[in-house]
Structure 1
Amino acid sequence: MSAVELEPSHDRIVIRLNRPEVRNAIDAETVAELHEACALLEQQPRIALITGSGGIFAAGADIRQLRERRRDDALRGINSGIFDRIRKLPMPVIALIDGYALGGGAELAYACDFRIGTPSVKIGNPEPGLGILAAAGASWRLAELVGEPLAKEILLAGRVLTAEEALGCRLLNDIVEPDELDAAGSALADRIARQAPQAVRLTKSVFHAPREAHPLIDDIAQAVLFETEDKYDRMTAFLERKDRKK
């Protein structure tokens, strides 16, 4: 890989966009390498942390490539496909955002489960100013994240949110200084890793299930977890701690 760097450990993988010379613009090579990273995470589910290099998350899609794309390229869903795959990864995904997250970079961040930023964050979707729309998830996902009125300001009127504005609408979970960004992501990953992995996986799946699938899917997921050793061991340990405090 060259456009994306992977830093794996036993319970997580850091995915670092590595095109700082073009502010980590998301091109076809980046998309292909993100698919490779997703394949690894689907085969061996782990927490993912997505970040950028050079003080930028991702300033958007690669405009030089985007300008040459035609109808059939749009119908292939090049960016929407990879962002949807990231959204559906088995374990949570954390975006660590420094500087610009615009266009496709913003849509990548929206596809993640958590977003931690720095004070320099600028996040939004300027696509209509370039004669296109935000077609890789923002046009429907953003309203779920921030509500319809603000989503329309961003998508239709070109509003770009500052870090404080993004935190205020909970698009960002937290703001930290740039030199604390990796540590903040690791701390959140640690909190997730302390939970039962299979319970986290099934909770994420149930959370994103269609409304009409509930409550049946909740009951089926719980039935699976009721049969796990991890459930028995964790509940036994909880009861033993409680008994010791008496």
Structure 2
Amino acid sequence: MTHQQTQPQADIAVSSESLPEAFETILAEVSGAVGTITINRPDKRNALSRTVLAEIGRVLDAWEEDDDVSAVIFTGAGEKAFIAGADISQLAHYDLPYGLAAHMQRLYDRIQDYPKPTLAALNGVAMGGGLELAMSCDIRIAAEHARMGLPETTLGVLPGAGGTQRLSRLVGTGRAVEMILTSRILTAAEAERYGLVTTVVPAAELLPTAAATVGTILTKGPLAIRLAKMVIGQGAETDQRTGLLLERLAQTLLYTTEDKAEGATAFLDKRTPEFRGR
């Protein structure tokens, strides 16, 4: 499969031909090999609903097999909210079977394991399920005015879409326990100090910075990127010795690829490599 190493543009408002359908709660657009999913419920502060989750899943299905999409950015419509959490009007109807079905948790697991790089551009508040979605992405960049937290205990529930697990892996157990038990909300600057986001930028620079970050990733070998994501993710779930074994096996596979030969040759020739994902 050939991967196009096209530099994405800051303007990301070009509709994807692979998604002819119109969506009720999201926008799905592609430009420069980068797909952008925008949660489009600004009147609800982009709150998550069952429809939102289903529509995100359909887009991920389409883009996973689309060679014209090499990475995915998530963001929210407007300037106030990335995702303000779950739609509380639906929370009252959640029951035991719904909890066991774990629709949101399963979707976020899929985002974490997605074969293409993912980035969350936090353009405003990211609460509850919104922060949990961001934590399932590979990279998080926040606007300066963004706020984020897991306030579910205020509602008598807990962060049930990966929050109890991913937060501690990103910021450490002590900080995760304090944040969840007190429902503490972090500023963007605090989140950056905690390691919850990697970069904080002015709001006007958020999407251009996200596009530039993804553009840099797409200049690298696509097989190396995919295996690096896999090894880092799986290695974090096991002991170091097993993680090192995964690293060694992944590197051995990469040694056999055309991309490795192209990368080394391009470096010696002092030119830009032309990776083909094989």
Same fold (TM over 0.5): yes
How far does the alpha carbon of each residue in 1:153-206 deviate from its partner, in whole angstroms, 9 at most, with x for none? Answer: 111111100111001112111111111111000110111011111110011001
Residue 222 (structure 1) shift: 1.8
Match of 1:32 among 37, 49, 54: 54
Partners of 1:125 and 1:154 within 8 A in 2: yes
Alignment of 1:211-226 (within 5 A): 211-212=238-239, 213-226=242-255
Residue 92 (structure 1) shift: 1.6
Match of 1:12 among 34, 47, 54: 34
Partners of 1:38 and 1:85 within 8 A in 2: no
Match of 2:176 among 148, 151, 157: 151
Partners of 1:167 and 1:214 in 2: CA distance? 27
**What percentage of residue pairs aligned between the two structures are identical?**
36
Partners of 1:125 and 1:155 within 8 A in 2: yes
Q: Could you tell me which residue of structure 2 aligns to residue 52 of structure 1?
A: 76
Alignment of 1:166-177 (within 5 A): 166-177=191-202
User: What one-letter code is carried by the residue in structure 1 that aligns with 2:209?
Assistant: A
Moved more, 109-118 or 1-10: 1-10
Alignment of 1:73-222 (within 5 A): 73-209=98-234, 210-212=237-239, 213-222=242-251
Higher helix share: 1
Partners of 1:206 and 1:125 in 2: CA distance? 28
Partners of 1:41 and 1:89 within 8 A in 2: no
Residue 11 (structure 1) shift: 2.4
Q: Could you tell me which residue of structure 1 aligns to residue 6 of structure 2?
A: none
SS in 2 for 1:141: helix
Moved more, 35-44 or 129-138: 35-44
Gapped regions of structure 1 (runs ≥ 5): none
Residue 15 (structure 1) shift: 0.8
How far does the alpha carbon of each residue in 1:81-110 deviate from its partner, in whole angstroms, 9 at most, with x for none? Answer: 111111110122110002210011111111
Moved more, 49-58 or 205-214: 205-214
Partners of 1:94 and 1:114 within 8 A in 2: yes
Partners of 2:32 and 2:254 in 1: CA distance? 22
Gapped regions of structure 2 (runs ≥ 5): 1-22, 272-278
Report whether the alignment pairs 1:233 with 2:262. Answer: yes
Partners of 1:11 and 1:225 in 2: CA distance? 23
Partners of 1:10 and 1:184 in 2: CA distance? 14
Moved more, 130-139 or 223-232: 223-232
Partners of 2:64 and 2:230 in 1: CA distance? 13
SS in 2 for 1:171: coil
How many residues in Structure 1 have an aligned counterpart in Structure 2? 242
Q: Could you tell me which residue of structure 2 aligns to residue 66 of structure 1?
A: 91
Partners of 1:36 and 1:86 in 2: CA distance? 12
Identify the structure with bigger relative contact order (alpha carbons < 8 Å, sequence gap 6+): 2
TM-score scaled by length of structure 2: 0.84
RMSD: 1.5
How far does the alpha carbon of each residue in 1:34-91 deviate from its partner, in whole angstroms, 9 at most, with x for none? Answer: 1112212322362111000011100000111111110100000011011111111012
